[in-house]
Amino acid sequence: MQNQNKPLLPACQGFPSGLVGNKKNVNEGFIDDVSFLIRIMFLFLGYVEKKARKWIILQHKERAERMLIRVWNRSRYSEEGLRRKKKELKKLPRKRKCVMITLTFDRKRHSLIEACAIVGKEIRRFLNSLNEWRKRRGFKKRLGYCWVIEFHRDLYPHVHIIFPGLKYVAPKEVIERLWGRGFTRVEQQKIDVAGYLIGYVSKAEKKYGIAEKALLWFFGIRIHDRSKSLVKRMQNEKKKKEKEWIYLGCIELEDVWDYVEICMKFGEVKKLKICW
pLDDT tens, position by position, 104-124:
999 999 999 999 999 999 999
The verdict on residue 62 lying in a domain is yes
What's the rounded Cα separation, in Å, for the pair 60 and 268?
12
| Mean pLDDT taken over the chain | 80
Q: Does 21 score more than 50 pLDDT? A: no
Q: How far is CA 214 from CA 73, 139, 170, 189, in A?
A: 17, 40, 35, 33
Please write the tens of the pLDDT for every residue from 28-71.
455 578 888 899 999 999 988 888 888 888 888 888 888 888 88
Choose the weakest-confidence range: 91-95, 112-116, 189-193: 91-95
**Which residue segment(s) compose the domain that 61 sits in?**
55-69+238-275
Q: Indicate the pTM of the whole model.
A: 0.76
Look at residue 120 and tell me if it is in a domain: yes
Residues 253, 155 share a domain = no
Phi, psi values for residue 190, rounded to 5°: -80, 125
Nearest to 165 by CA among 99, 75, 121: 99
> Is there a single domain that holds both residue 130 and residue 210?
yes
Kindly state whether residue 244 falls inside one of the protein's structural domains: yes
Tell me the helices (H) and strands (E) count for the chain, helix number first: 9, 9
Is 28 a member of any domain? Answer: no
Which amino acid appears at position 170 of this protein? A
Same domain membership, residue 192 and residue 107: yes
Q: Are residues 195 and 259 in the same domain?
A: no
Residues 215 and 112 in one domain: yes
**Candidate from 97-101, 111-115, 175-179, 245-249 with smallest mean pLDDT:** 245-249
pLDDT bucket at 23, cuts 50 / 70 / 90 = very low
Of residues 254 and 156, which shows the higher confidence score?
156
Q: Radius of gyration of the chain from Cα atoms?
A: 23
State the pLDDT confidence band at 235, using cuts at 50, 70 and 90. Answer: low
Q: Report CA-CA distances (Å) from 136 to 120, 130, 176.
A: 25, 10, 18
Same domain, 131 and 221: yes
What pLDDT, on the 0 to 100 scale, is given for residue 240?
A: 53
Question: Between 107 and 244, whose confidence is greater?
Answer: 107
Residue 156, pLDDT > 90, answer yes
Indicate the burial class of 242 (C-beta count within 10 angstroms; 0-12, 13-18, 19 or more).
exposed
At residue 245, the pLDDT reads: 83
Q: Is there a single domain that holds both residue 180 and residue 270? A: no
Coil, helix or strand at residue 118: helix
